[in-house]
Amino acid sequence: VDDGIDYCHSGRIRRIDEEAIHRQLDSNAIVLIGPVAVSVTGESFNLTSEEVATQLAIKLKAEKMIGFCSSQGVTDAEGNILSELFPNDAQKRLEELEEG
């Protein structure tokens, strides 16, 4: 339940064990983290892969986050796929999309 809304078996990230992830990375391990989390009561919850990736990047202070998805990507007003997108440009693009 988040702000009075019951999302059933969907959830949000509340904690990330950064130290454990850093230990694995320091030992040259490849860390795979899926979109399922367990609560303190032992319940399993689905998380969006975008939220997992974003929160991990923030907590681990990543210099860069690269995402892969099934859609073609973010496009400009002419429909061309953008190969890079800076925060200011992203905000402008969102405003363009909201305007229609």
pLDDT tens, residue by residue, 46-91: 888 888 998 999 999 998 888 777 767 777 778 788 888 888 888 8
28 — pLDDT class (breaks 50, 70, 90): very high
- Give me the residue spans of the domains in the chain: 1-67, 70-100
The yes-or-no verdict on residue 98 having pLDDT over 90 is no
pLDDT of 27 reads 97
The yes-or-no verdict on residue 15 having pLDDT over 70 is yes
What tokens appear for 30 in the block? 């490849």
Quick check: 18 and 62 in contact, CB under 8 A? no
- State how far the Cα of 43 lies from the Cα of 41, in Å rounded to an integer: 6
Q: Is the pTM of this model over 0.85?
A: no
